Amino acid sequence: MRVYNFAAGPSTLPVEVLEEAQRDFLDYNGTGMSITEMSHRSKPFMAVNDEAQALLRELMNIPDDYAVLFVQGGASQQFAAVPLNLMVNGKADYIVTGNFAGKAQEEATKYGDAAIAASSKDKNFTYIPDMKNVKFRDGIDYVHITSNNTIYGTRYTALPETAAPLVSDMSSNILSEVVDVKKFGLIYAGAQKNVAPAGVTIVIVKRALLGRHKAFCPTMLRYDIQDKNNSLYNTPPCFSIYMAMLVLRRLKKLGGVKAMQEVNEYKAKLLYDCIDSSSLYKNYVNKADRSLMNVPFVTGSEELDAKFVKEAAEHGLVSLKGHRLVGGMRASIYNAMPVEGVKALVEFMKKFELENK
């Protein structure tokens, strides 16, 4: 029996996609072998690689002067790859809105002057700083933001005002809402939240920014080399790319990112309305900055939180324990979480509140 899995990452995948992968697992497209067993330079795999990229370009409306790369090492590897490739003048500004944003900034200090232009640490990352008030230094190579903060449940609804290239970690909200790629110099995202199983990391980068990497940048981290080789410089994470292709095909069939955004807004509203109308649950995030993907909430009692997580699991609603930095509960409701899953959670929350008055 399938459960409703609210894990923050790796996270739930669409059942139809899992079933299709299962059907094709022993014999992919009449090749007599699994997609995981064939050369990454074979025709069938190259077709998968190309289709995944083409679908991503179509769904996100990515202009031709941007490279789309499928790399490894997770989003965390990009914390280093970004400064190694883009910190041409040795200076970048970071907005720190959570744990991963802080890690990205810290990693960048190894390669240059990576300053914190703004932070929401003063209120335990429960808000996104007002972009109108954030000032950046002259001569910076880029501004780095984290568009959705997976642990704290916040998201950007406005972008920083800067002439420098904008770099965004979109690991937990890529393809969940419409974004204008042209406004960014670089977007990166680990796949394991909204796109595919862990293993592949998506990098979308303006080609004009390439080729100016630091001399000591590892070959594998060079965007220009990955671009020239169509992400096949070495063996890629073939299975994850194949799964990404299936997920992207499904997303296209469902009407694309705009249609998905509408469903995501609906799901998030169901959950926030339940929290806001209850006297038991609280979400501490500034309302305007609430994430559509990650919804943290608490009861105010650690004991009751633990009881909630345990009893929810008994109802087939799993992985609801909050991140250790925040405590309480967190429901991650990515693209693949069906509306019925959120409705089941809301129903359980109401029942639990009645029983624990």
Ligand X SMILES: *Cc1c(COP(=O)(O)O)cnc(C)c1O
Nearer of residues 53 and 168 to ligand X, judged by Cβ: 168
Q: Provide the minimum distance between the beta carbon of 169 and ligand X in the complex, in angstroms, as a whole number.
A: 5
Nearer to ligand X, 99 or 278 (CB): 99
**Closer Cβ to ligand X, 157 or 301, answer by number:** 157
CA 271 – CA 249 distance, rounded (Å): 28
The residue number whose beta carbon is nearest to ligand X equals 74
| Shortest CB 149 distance to ligand X, Å | 7
- Structure tokens belonging to residue 254: 């469902």
Phi and psi at residue 223, to the nearest 5°: -65, -35
- Report residue 154 as tokens: 């916040």
CB of 60 to ligand X, least distance (A): 17
Taking the complex as a whole, the smallest distance from the CB of residue 357 to ligand X amounts, in Å, to 35
Q: Which is nearer to ligand X, 107 or 169 (CB)?
A: 169
CA 110/CA 179 separation, integer angstroms = 30
Cβ neighbours of 340 (radius 10 Å): 9
d(CA 301, CA 321) in angstroms, rounded, equals 14
Q: How far is the CB of 43 from ligand X (least distance, A)?
A: 30
Separation between Cα atoms, residue 27 and residue 45, nearest integer Å: 13
Of the two residues 172 and 261, which places its CB atom closer to ligand X in the complex? 172
Chain residues in the site for ligand X (CB under 6 A): 9, 74-76, 100, 146, 150, 169, 171-172, 190
Kindly report the three-state secondary structure assignment for every residue of 272-284.
HHHHHCCCCCECC
Token reading at 38: 């064939």
